[in-house]
Structure 1
């Protein structure tokens, strides 16, 4: 779900956009603002992922407002003026809608913004995972474990086996599941069993007693079944 605001001094345009956006299932309208200054206050108080921004407004126009932001969210310009298109795209806006507009044009812009939002979040997630890469001791040698390469981890007494997509055999190291879990990024792995940690992004199939990574079956115990239910609800 993307949280968005409208910034336009024309009441009829705001009402039309409000109606259009209410029909887009992946958008949540946080506020409809009459001025750029009102929008600035909203950005300070709320999480906003997308702005529908007019250009010609009193005191501070849309482009001046956009240039004043250090870390602006995604922006879709909505204006009656064609001549600002080049300047707007130089400011990395997601789309440029000309008034008057229909719902089909708004939906197209929303879909484009949603794709950019997914790409942006994917990059952030990748960087977050990368920052959690770590080393383990394997027979007096330190071996680097790339978190994005982990499929699942099995606990065996005082040791763990780390199964990686890049290796045919698991990495065996003297460590507990609890200790390895503390090294992993929050929300990227789930415990399916007292002896197994599984990378959520690697799960291809969910059965009653197993989760599958391709043809590999990892057991799910009754104690940890709620973790699987959380993954299903998140999807």
Structure 2
């Protein structure tokens, strides 16, 4: 079985010690470095090959996001954090998994299995795809507003806000008020593109720009994530890691 070389970076010594203890239990994992100093990791990866770096996000000198941006594709990353809101941001980098603290050995071992599986995969041959000559038409809905039916393209719909007996549709270039309930309107939307994240909000998932704690940012809109919907939303985010 292939030996996987790893390193650990966390500003909390106890977290470093715990992950080091976990790694020691995995026979084909070699722990090259475990430290609280980000500059030691930068120097290490500049000199030698590291297959995976277990990295905390919130650190005083350099954040985990900054470290990943600096290291680029020189290694794979496993984010270790007490905060789930960084998951989507981490997806922009070479992230294998996202471990939420406190990290149990059972969850850590599942991460190890994922790393091992990725290390055994063969590169997929590059296949050139001819450019499409026609684009799929936008999906659309007709809504009743101001006494008339208006056609809206769902690709332009950023989010839906419930206001008692009315809905406030936030589109890319305009805002419309519709007499409808959030539950009934949700049933008309494709579940692959839209998700209800709060008792008063439905969002278009591919329009999320940032996730911060229990809220998402879509253009200039800040949408809270309700407790009832938090687990489903977090599972969706993790599916990209």
1:81 CA drift (Å) = 0.9
1:49 CA drift (Å) = 0.5
Once residues 78 and 70 of structure 1 are traced to their aligned partners in structure 2, the CA distance between those partners, rounded to angstroms, is 18
Once residues 99 and 7 of structure 1 are traced to their aligned partners in structure 2, the CA distance between those partners, rounded to angstroms, is 14
1:92 CA drift (Å) = 3.3
1:106 CA drift (Å) = 0.6
Structure 2 residue runs without a partner (length 5+): 127-241
1:102 aligns with 2:104: yes
1:7 CA drift (Å) = 0.6
Contact 1:6 1:32 in 2 (8 A): yes
1:71 CA drift (Å) = 2.3
1:4 aligns with 2:6: yes
**What residue in structure 2 maps to residue 114 of structure 1?**
116
1:55 CA drift (Å) = 0.6
Once residues 58 and 112 of structure 1 are traced to their aligned partners in structure 2, the CA distance between those partners, rounded to angstroms, is 29
Which of the numbers 19, 30, 33 marks the counterpart of 1:28? 30
1:38 CA drift (Å) = 1.5
Deviation track 1:137-196 (CA, whole Å, cap 9, x = no partner) reads xxxxxxxxxxxxxxxxxxxxxxxxxxxxxxxxxxxxxxxxxxxxxxxxxxxxxxxxxxxx
1:46 CA drift (Å) = 2.2
Once residues 20 and 98 of structure 2 are traced to their aligned partners in structure 1, the CA distance between those partners, rounded to angstroms, is 17
Which of the numbers 57, 60, 74 marks the counterpart of 1:58? 60
1:31 CA drift (Å) = 0.6
SS at match of 2:26: coil
SS at match of 1:21: helix
Deviates more, 1:63-72 or 1:3-12: 63-72
Once residues 8 and 22 of structure 1 are traced to their aligned partners in structure 2, the CA distance between those partners, rounded to angstroms, is 17
**What residue in structure 1 maps to residue 236 of structure 2?**
none
**What residue in structure 1 maps to residue 123 of structure 2?**
123
Structure of higher CA gyration radius: 1
**What residue in structure 2 maps to residue 131 of structure 1?**
none
Which of the numbers 34, 41, 44 marks the counterpart of 2:43? 41
1:17 CA drift (Å) = 0.4
Which of the numbers 14, 17, 38 marks the counterpart of 2:16? 14
SS at match of 1:6: strand
**Compared CA separation, residues 70 and 89, structure 1 to 2 (3 A):** closer
SS at match of 1:123: coil
Task: Count matched residues.
Answer: 124
Structure 1 residue runs of 4 or more that deviate by more than 4 Å after TM superposition: none
Structure 1 residue runs without a partner (length 5+): 128-235
SS at match of 2:71: coil
Once residues 35 and 79 of structure 1 are traced to their aligned partners in structure 2, the CA distance between those partners, rounded to angstroms, is 17
- The TM-score with structure 1 as length reference comes to 0.50
Contact 1:4 1:50 in 2 (8 A): yes
